[in-house]
Amino acid sequence: MLLKGNGGKVRINKVLDQVFARKSNISVLRALKYYTTGISGREIARLTGLAAKNSLITLSHLEDLGLVKSIKGGREHLFSLNRESYLIQNSILPLLESEEEFERAVRNEIKSKLKGKVVSALIFGSVARKEETEESDLDLCLIYEYKKNLGILEEIINSLSTKLYQKYGVSLSPLYLGKNDFIAKARKGKTPVKQIIEEGEIVVGKNLERIIDA
């Protein structure tokens, strides 16, 4: 069954097939989530990385579905979420909020397993740079104090890797570095420690400056 929208038709059955028919749909909805007042199509294109033409095509499609509304604002139309929409209230916004929580949940899993077990644990690589693809692993640098504890740490990471994959679909790629080895490579600017210092995000443990200057 189909209902007419603003120039398009909205399905009653399997309506999410329309909502997620294009990758650009979710990109635009995600960008609009943070604005209660309308923003221009040009600004939406900038926020999403879409070409201006593709941004407007997507906005038109979402407006047809009743998910987005537009008003004339000066020389440009301004777009915002239709927050009265059933799908926006009950599907889209909760899904986007869950997406935001996803990264925090992964970090919390790592933190809970490694607190007190490492000098520091840092996410680095494509995830830290926010450049990851479907093929990317989660690169995790693990700085440990004593080599005698490495075996125990590896067992913890093996367990953590299994949980992250089963629960979140995330593949963990650990890099183990002794504290003294990390300090020596940091002071010489050696890779990959140089990159870890530049882009690493601490999940648990000491700040890198405190480690290097110790």
DSSP element (H, E) containing 123: strand 120-124
Q: Which residues pair with 122 in a beta bridge?
A: 141, 202
Task: Tell me which CATH code domain 97-213 carries.
Answer: 3.30.460.10
d(CA 81, CA 214): 51
Let me know if 130 is exposed, middle or buried by CB neighbors in 10 A (0-12, 13-18, 19+).
exposed
- One fold for 15-90 and 97-213: no
Distance CA 160, CA 126 (A): 20
DSSP 50: -
* Cβ pair 44, 28 in contact under 8 A: yes
Domain boundaries, the chain: 15-90, 97-213
CATH number, domain 15-90: 1.10.10.10
pLDDT of residue 10: 79
For residue 124, count CB atoms less than 10 angstroms from its CB and return exposed for 0-12, middle for 13-18, buried for 19 or more.
buried
Single-letter amino acid code for the residue at 114: L
The tens place of each residue's pLDDT in the chain, 214 residues long, gives 434 444 457 778 898 999 998 999 999 999 999 998 899 999 999 999 999 999 999 999 999 999 999 988 777 889 999 999 999 999 999 999 999 999 999 999 999 999 999 999 999 999 999 999 999 999 999 999 999 989 999 999 999 999 999 999 999 999 999 999 999 999 999 999 999 999 999 999 999 999 998 7
